[in-house]
Structure 1
Amino acid sequence: MVRLAYIVYVTFVFFAFGGKCFDILEFNDKLIDNAIEMNRVLDPDSAFTSWIRMIMKSLQFSKRGLFDPKSHRNQDEDLLRKLAFFRVMEQHMEKTILYEVEKEKERVYTIATYLGCDCPLEYIDEARISRGFDVDLINAVCTEAGRKCVHQDVPHNACLTHVGGKIPHAGTALLGKQIDMCLGWAKTPTRQLSVAYTAPYARYETEVLFVIKFGNPGDFDPNNVRGKTIGFEDGFFTDKACLVHARDRIEGIDSMQSEQEVYKDNYELLLDDLRHDKIDAFLTFKNHITQHLKDEFEFIGDDIGCVADISLHGIKRKDNPLTWFDDTLKAMKENGKYHALCHKGNIDHGHMGKILCMEE
């Protein structure tokens, strides 16, 4: 849409000041060569490229003297020719813009989720079908917006990756444009460096705590990690950067060495490491793992508090705004359709827990 608006704007300027442009530009060879090179590197099927081609034709015509202001042709004849050219250009632009609009309507968007919580937001039912409020929301927003969408289950690193404590970055599928957006992500300052976020679509209790063996046989102190080995789950916001948020009240964070930071692909591996005393504790958010602790593990300490808000968002590439998703979600919140959907979600998926609907 930005490109389309730019086309319309430039066309308007060209129409309004076309006569002056011919005087100022003088249509030298260098200008034409530069414009042709610009056309070469652009998408050959875009409306913008078609517009450039049209201008190229006008430049070539003018260079041959068709609209040469220095010629001694009758001014009325020149005016008629210019008006005829503008009419042809207007018809061309109308066709290309309509083509772009129709092509956009036919586009299929891929919106992904990953099984990050096995909760009412996202889970696999007994028939091995992906269910949850995230899937409901994708279907509802796309239908309301009149867009064609497909849902895809992906591993978390297809959407976002921060392996081994490094700064997170957009995942391979998101960067590679196999996926347009991923739902189910909390907003953090470091993540915002590499991806853009949609408006929030559900609240989520993101209390971040240490997990230890039940009864704390290792006498782990959640306010002092000096010399301790801490586990982290790859791809989640509960990484070393999250822990650093509590450096003012937890001793030993700044002096942690790389061998004290253990990153694993999932919480099951971290629980096993904890079970066999390979780590002293690991960091996670409460709702992610509560149902898996049973009587063998427990939480300890206070909330680290390392997220920008307590809600879930979709993430997308920064060059792919998908503004229609936010616009539609906002409209659904205002007309009540979002709240009806969320209420129905609590009925359909209530056996997996409670969906915390947005209040605005």
Structure 2
Amino acid sequence: MATLESSDTGRILAQGRGSGVNKLLQMLVVVAILLSSVALVVALISLTQNGDTTMVTLTKQEGSNVKNDRIWNIRMGNGRSNYIYIDQTSGQLKGFIVDIVNAVCQLANKDCRLVYDISQHCWESEKGQIPRGGIGLMSEWYDACAAWIPAHSRARTFKFSKSFSKPVDFRFAIKTGNPRGFNPTDVTNMKFGFVDGWINDEFCLARQTSIKGSTLPVSQIQHYDTYDDMLNAVLSGEVDACISYGTRDILPGLTELEDPVLDCSMDASGPGLMMRMDNPLLEWWDPALTRLIQTSEYWEICQNVKDKHGHMPGRDPKELCIGY
């Protein structure tokens, strides 16, 4: 039968004593932490009651110093006016809405990237068909398309931000001298040109119930890829008229009629951002835009329409800027 030597007994006793000491130390550390936490809570309550400190709520706020960890892609087009254009020297997008988008993103402290794409990838239409969402916005190639106006058809698919400029006036544009005998109160048998995906389309014309013949048959509708293509079709006589976009950006040889002013928007809103229903961009964009319009920076952007972008055709600050 095995027996314990004296040395074995001493070793076991020593281990027991060591284990007890360790447990005691652990208990003391836990007690110390608890006492420190209680002391900190008491101190904070005291300071708050005495009014000696400002409590800070760590919530995600517009204008926060902490950037969201994502990039916000905003699609831009080439409007060929001071509203938006591609600078031929630098190759960069410039214009009023570029300045607006950059300022809003900076104010909200968001990392925004401007993405160029054709307008049909935001909103698409073909003659004889109901307009629909473009593949770029529907497939989330970008978060929003800039400078789009709410329309009844668009509101079925997308949501819109607040406007960052005044509403646009839409008017008939015809060849100077009116060689086709265009009558703005009766467009029966008149052939019209429209830009694929733009708000000034055949559905806008159909809503002008005071104009005779405003609901066009397919035979009187012609769609074009760009605004210039549409204007050139009027100039060449391929179509009788078009609805200009209100930028005063008319080719030589064309005349924009002063009356009537056509109502193409859903609620008389000006251009803003158009995006998918599930996109969270509006959570920070609209508050930041509201703040921007109330600052002197907005007026500087408006002044830059003449100072920086005055070499391009388009509307002046009084026609463009909210509250001007």
Corresponding letter in the other structure for 2:171: L
2-structure distance, mates of 1:251, 1:346:
40
| Aligned match of 1:299 | 256
Q: 1:341 to 1:218 in 2, by over 3 A?
A: closer
Q: Deviations over 1:10-34 (max 9, x none)?
A: xxxxxxxxxxxxxxxxxxxxxxxxx
- Secondary structure, counterpart of 1:183 in structure 2: strand
Aligned residues: 255
Aligned ranges 1:195-344 → 2 under 5 Å: 195-204=158-167, 206-247=168-209, 249-254=210-215, 256-287=216-247, 289-290=249-250, 292=251, 294=252, 296-300=253-257, 301-307=259-265, 308-309=267-268, 311-322=270-281, 323-344=283-304
Change (3 A) 1:285 1:333: closer
Q: CA deviation at 1:351?
A: 2.9
- Following the alignment from structure 1 to structure 2, what is the Cα–Cα distance between the partners of residues 315 and 173? 12
What amino acid sits opposite 1:250 in the alignment?
A: I
Seen in structure 2, the aligned counterparts of structure 1 residues 261 and 331 have a Cα distance that, compared at 3 Å, is: same
Aligned to 1:87: none
TM-superposed deviation, 1:325 = 0.9
Cα drift, residue 207 of structure 1: 2.2
CA distance in 2, matches of 1:271, 1:338: 32
Q: Distance in 2 between matches of 1:250 and 1:344?
A: 38
Q: CA deviation at 1:345?
A: 4.8
Cα distance 1:337–1:220, how it changes in 2: closer, same or farther (>3 A)? closer
Q: 1:298 to 1:179 in 2, by over 3 A?
A: same
Residue 150 (1) aligns with residue 109 (2): no
Post-superposition CA distance 1:293-318 (Å, at most 9, x none):
x1x22234411222232521111111
Residue 270 (structure 1) shift: 2.8
CA distance in 2, matches of 1:358, 1:165: 36
Q: Give, in whole Å, the separation in 2 of the partners of 1:214 and 1:346.
A: 28
Give the secondary-structure state (helix, strand or coil) at the position aligned to 1:273.
Answer: helix
TM-score by length of 1: 0.64
Equivalent residue letter for 1:244? A
Alignment of 1:1-360 (within 5 A): 105-116=68-79, 118-127=80-89, 128-164=91-127, 166-204=129-167, 206-247=168-209, 249-254=210-215, 256-287=216-247, 289-290=249-250, 292=251, 294=252, 296-300=253-257, 301-307=259-265, 308-309=267-268, 311-322=270-281, 323-352=283-312, 353=314, 354-355=316-317, 356-359=320-323
Is the CA contact (8 Å cut-off) linking 1:245 and 1:304 kept in structure 2? no
Could you say which structure has the larger radius of gyration?
2
Q: CA deviation at 1:335?
A: 4.4
Q: Distance in 2 between matches of 1:186 and 1:288?
A: 17
Cα deviation 1:172-197 (Å, max 9, x = unaligned) = 11111110011111222222221111
- State how far apart, in whole Å, the 1-side matches of 2:231 and 2:301 are: 36
**In percent, how many aligned pairs have the same letter?**
27
CA distance in 2, matches of 1:210, 1:145: 39
The one-character-per-residue Cα deviations of 1:31-82 (angstroms, maximum 9, x if unpaired) are xxxxxxxxxxxxxxxxxxxxxxxxxxxxxxxxxxxxxxxxxxxxxxxxxxxx
Distance 1:299 1:346, change over 3 A: closer
Q: CA deviation at 1:159?
A: 1.6
User: Gapped runs of 5+ residues in structure 1?
Assistant: 1-96
Identify which of structures 1 and 2 has the higher relative contact order when contacts are C-alpha pairs closer than 8 Å and 6+ apart: 2
Name the SS of the counterpart of 1:231 in structure 2.
strand
Residue 319 of structure 1: CA displacement?
Answer: 0.8
Contact 2:127–2:218 (Cα < 8 Å) also in 1: no
Equivalent-residue separation in structure 2 for 1:286 and 1:335 (angstroms)? 27
SS in 2 for 1:105: coil
CA distance, structure 1, for counterparts of residue 189 and residue 304 of structure 2: 49
Runs of 4+ in 1 over 6 A off after TM superposition: none
Deviation of 1:288 after TM superposition, in Å, equals 5.7
Once residues 168 and 104 of structure 1 are traced to their aligned partners in structure 2, the CA distance between those partners, rounded to angstroms, is 37
TM-score norm. by structure 2 comes to 0.71
Question: Are 1:110 and 1:181, in contact at CA under 8 Å, matched by a contact in 2?
Answer: yes
Distance in structure 2 (CA, Å) of the matches to 1:211 and 1:329: 33
Cα displacement (A) at 1:346 = 4.1
Match of residue 73 from structure 1? none
**Residues 206-244 of structure 1: per-residue CA shift (max 9 Å, x gap):** 222222222111212121122222221211111111001
